[in-house]
Amino acid sequence: MNRRDQILKLVVDHFIKTAQPVGSQTLIDEYHLDFSSATIRSEMNALEADGFIEKTHTSSGRVPSSKGYRYYVDNLREKSIDEEIKHRIQTVLDQKVQSSEAVIRESCEILSHMTNLVSVVLGPNANEEKLVNLQIIPIGERSATAVFVTDTGYVENKTFNIAEKIKIDDVQSCVKLLNDRLSGTPISELVPKMQAIKPLISDLIVGHDILYQAMLETFLRFASDRLSLYGRDKLLDQPEYSHDINKLKKIMQMLSSPELIRDITEQGEGELTIRIGESDNDLEDVAIVSAKVKVPGQKEGNIAIVGPRRMDYEKVISYLEYVVDTIEKHFEDRDDLVKKSTKEDDNGWKKN
Amino acid sequence: MNRRDQILKLVVDHFIKTAQPVGSQTLIDEYHLDFSSATIRSEMNALEADGFIEKTHTSSGRVPSSKGYRYYVDNLREKSIDEEIKHRIQTVLDQKVQSSEAVIRESCEILSHMTNLVSVVLGPNANEEKLVNLQIIPIGERSATAVFVTDTGYVENKTFNIAEKIKIDDVQSCVKLLNDRLSGTPISELVPKMQAIKPLISDLIVGHDILYQAMLETFLRFASDRLSLYGRDKLLDQPEYSHDINKLKKIMQMLSSPELIRDITEQGEGELTIRIGESDNDLEDVAIVSAKVKVPGQKEGNIAIVGPRRMDYEKVISYLEYVVDTIEKHFEDRDDLVKKSTKEDDNGWKKN
DNA sequence: ACTTAGCACTCAGCCGATAAAAGTGCTAAT
DNA sequence: ATTAGCACTTTTATCGGCTGAGTGCTAAGT
């Protein structure tokens, strides 16, 4: 690594650590460099001319620019992984029965905790899932809960009240009809398909209009984003926000807007996408490290870590990569194991 | 209302509005009182001696104390309800199919939005609910989702993977057995009861240990609090926090701790409980207005509004009372209507 | 051709003093 | 009892001065 890069790395490292503009002398003091401060200054000058670092005022130390962070992330970053996170993730994976969702949730809690940043889980896009089963469970005199399960094990439900008592047989045949017609249907096609079925159920069961309404509403809810945030409060610890609440407000607002989050988290070609301080989208001082995660039998999801531009990229990226890889590997292994151990006869289970 | 009370009310009102200590002259200027400032000062002196108001420093205006707020809330408060919230709540209730949960959720969003405070919904204590039905839905080659429904329409689910393929008939009989044994069981008794059943299912189905584990885990999850927060970000707009992030951090922490929230929200004898700045629980500058809400066929729940001690009690209390009353009335009316219109014959629906 | 010592310069941050504003309490007169 | 008047207190804002951390530039050294 040439000297200029070396200095850039130190500037970024130090700024990430202290949140203070870093000057030439500080750098020497802290890292025992054997150039003089003047040399550093001239290098910094060059770095500034190239747009990697900036001054906050004419005679201040330097602060990385988005371009600087970018270069740091792409070229200067080192891996940084420690035993603690490995151990913690292992603990999660060692639990006997874990759905992938549970594992992802707990892993994100760990990620948030260990990076002091927000982590975001963006579930697979509902529209690609298919409904596999639907149940109507009576829960009282005149109310029932409809339960819908998709092929990724996602469950949506809706409780509704009906004016009259319903014959249990009617419910049963209604459920059967609905399952016959709807199971296997992609979420996105549920609404039109349901409209087609409407006349059929209206003959079949009393209170059909309420049932119909309830189902329609639930179908719409499917489409809404499956998005979870962990460690939202961690942002309060970031020094950038402790004076300027408005910045905090902005990022919090961003985090409360599912559409925006999806937008931001989703895009990106590769496995890992790193977005730093995009000036267009009002995310001037925000960085997002996001990874795709794919486990067998599930659609692809995303895990992202969101925080101020000044985040510890080495840690964040290494941790996130490690977590995603480990989770994927874990479920693949289990899948393989299961496949191998299973005879290829085909009884039951598949079509119900 | 005597003059002293009148002045106390104005002090509280004005402080709630401006978040600034209020002085004698200000009061006259703002509210066109026809006493002199000296009179007000001497009244304030008395109020301070009685502990209703405080000075922030020797020559500052006055700020209400917890005792002052308390007195204000109990004796000086006026009703304050406007058309907007009535209209909004009505819109929610006018939707055709609404479960009480959905209504409560949407109402709380409205409450949060209109008060700029956090609202908290504390679901009925799970331990009093009973399981009414359980389903196991195969969702792929080797995975299944177990779905549990309680008598309040609450749904919990868990997806799990099994090593081997399972015969669909086995699943069916297993589900039947479990339903026979478990439905009607209070949540709190599920775990021991399940342990008793364990030997029965182990003969019945392959992969029973995983199923058993999954169920046990889910039962534990039932017990965890059903607690939702709305408008958490609204606190960022409160001026008390814009300088002092630490206060914000404290209250946010409090809001992230389900146990604490339950503690705080739950207690209280009457319909409406108002807790203001309890110095013991590290909630020096927090007020909580909480109301019980009870709809037919559901256990009792709680809605609370949480914010800085300096909250607009007139608005908050009136709104909350209105919302709770309206919701309860709505569901009661519907219940009555249904009861009346229903013949007393007893076909189906109840026991399944 | 780099490096670096040295120097002049800049600017945020921290006093300290001063002045204004908003308040209070007290007293004496109404 | 009320209030006008006044002395007193405290916060807040402003201004100049000073300091410290920083820069850029230049000229000398390697």
- CA dihedral of residues B209, B214, B219, B220 (deg, nearest 10): 100
Amino acid A341: pLDDT: 59
pLDDT tens-digit map of A37-86 = 999 999 999 999 999 999 999 999 999 999 999 999 999 999 999 999 99
Partner-chain contact B253 A233, CB within 8 Å: yes
Q: B46 to chain A nearest CA, in Å?
A: 38
- Backbone φ, ψ for residue A306 (5° rounding): -120, 135
In this prediction, residue A246 carries a pLDDT of 87
Residue nearest to nucleotide D10 (CA to C1'): B59
pLDDT (mean) for A226-254: 91
Quote the minimal CA–CA distance from A203 to chain B in Å. Answer: 18
The per-residue pLDDT for range A249-266, each reduced to its tens digit, is 999 999 988 888 888 887
Do B101 and A147 count as a contact with CB atoms less than 8 A apart? no
Pairing of strands A272-278, B227-230: unpaired
The pLDDT assigned to B340 comes to 67
Whether pLDDT at A345 is above 70: no
Q: Give me the pLDDT at residue B189, please.
A: 92
Strand partners, B286: B308
Other CB atoms within 10 A of residue A145 CB: 26
Residues of chain A with Cβ-Cβ distance to B336 below 8 Å are none
Residue A282 in tokens: 């009002």
In angstroms, the CA B257 to CA B232 distance is: 13
Q: Of the candidates B150, B241, B347, which has its C-beta nearest A165's C-beta?
A: B347
The reported pLDDT for the residue numbered B346 is 43
Close Cβ partners of A263 (under 8 Å, ≥ 6 residues apart)? none
Is the CB of B34 less than 7 A from some atom of nucleic acid strand D? yes
Say if residues A162 and A145 touch (Cβ distance below 8 Å). no
Residues A151 and A155: their CA atoms lie apart, in Å, by 10
Cα distance between residue B317 and residue B164, in whole Å: 57
Split at pLDDT 50, 70, 90, the class of A204 is confident
Rounded to 5 degrees, what are φ and ψ at A159?
A: -100, 140
Residue among B128, B180, B176, B126 at smallest CA distance from B154:
B126
Residues A254, B95: Cα–Cα separation, whole Å: 29
The Cα-based distances of B287 to B56, B64, B78, B136, B261 in angstroms read: 20, 13, 18, 45, 12
Residue A257 to residues A108, A191, A263, A265, B13: CA-CA distances in angstroms? 19, 25, 10, 12, 34
- Rg (C-alpha) for chain A, rounded Å, is 26
For chain B, percent helix, then strand, then coil, each to nearest 5? 55, 20, 25
Report the residue of B92, B94, B99, B104 to disrupt the A interface, i.e. the one with the largest count of A CBs within 10 Å: B99
**Dihedral class, residue A32 (left if φ above 0, else alpha if ψ from -120 to 50, else beta):** left
Residues of A (1-30) placing their beta carbon closer than 7 angstroms to any atom of strand D are 21-26
* Rounded Cα distance, A243 and A17, in Å: 18
For A83-230, where are the alpha helices, taking DSSP H only?
A: 83-94, 100-115, 168-182, 190-204, 208-223
Residue ranges of chain B with pLDDT lower than 70?
338-352
Q: How far apart are the first and last CA of chain A?
A: 62
Q: Which two tokens stand for residue B114?
A: 């209109």
Strand partners, B301: B293
State the pLDDT at residue A344: 46
Cross-strand bridge partners of residue B149: B133, B155
Burial class (CB in 10 A: 0-12, 13-18, 19+), B313: buried
Task: Answer whether residue A347 shows pLDDT above 70.
Answer: no
Which pLDDT band holds residue A202 (cuts at 50, 70, 90)?
confident
Instruction: Indicate if CB(B45) is under 7 A from strand D.
Output: no
Q: What is the pLDDT of residue B342?
A: 52
Instruction: Report in angstroms the alpha-carbon separations of A139 from A29, A224, A297, B149, B150.
Output: 71, 26, 32, 8, 7
Helix/strand/coil for B178: helix
The rounded distance, in Å, linking the Cα atoms of A138 and A240 is 53
The reply to whether residue B143 touches residue A233, judged by beta carbons under 8 angstroms, is: no
**DSSP H or E run through A165:** none
Ramachandran category for residue A99: left, alpha or beta (phi over 0 → left; psi -120 to 50 → alpha): beta
Check if the beta carbon of residue A251 is closer than 8 Å to that of residue A240: no
**Distances from the Cα of A280 to the Cαs of A251, A277, A285, A307, in angstroms?**
14, 9, 11, 17
How high is the pLDDT of residue B311?
98
Percent over 70 (pLDDT), chain A: 95
| pLDDT (average), residues A188-198 | 92
Round to whole Å and give the CA distance between B310 and A309.
Answer: 35
Question: According to the model, what pLDDT value does residue B90 have?
Answer: 97
How close A314 gets to chain B, by Cα (Å)? 27
For strand A155-161 and strand A143-150, is the pairing parallel, antiparallel, or unpaired?
Answer: antiparallel
Q: Do A161 and B342 touch (CB under 8 A)?
A: no
* C-beta atoms of A169 and B348 within 8 A: yes
Say what the pLDDT of residue B339 is. Answer: 67
Smallest CA–C1' separation from A62: which nucleotide? D22
Which of chain D's bases lie under 7 Å from a protein CB? Answer: 2-5, 8-11, 20-26
Of the candidates A169, A213, A338, the beta carbon closest to that of B142 is on A338
CB < 7 A to strand D: residues 53-72, chain A: 55, 59-62
The pLDDT assigned to B351 comes to: 40
pLDDT of B186-242, one tens digit each?
A: 998 999 999 999 998 888 877 888 889 889 989 988 877 788 999 999 999 999 998
Q: What is the pLDDT of residue B208?
A: 85
Query: What residues does B276 pair with on adjacent strands?
Result: B287
Beta bridge partners of B305: B119, B289
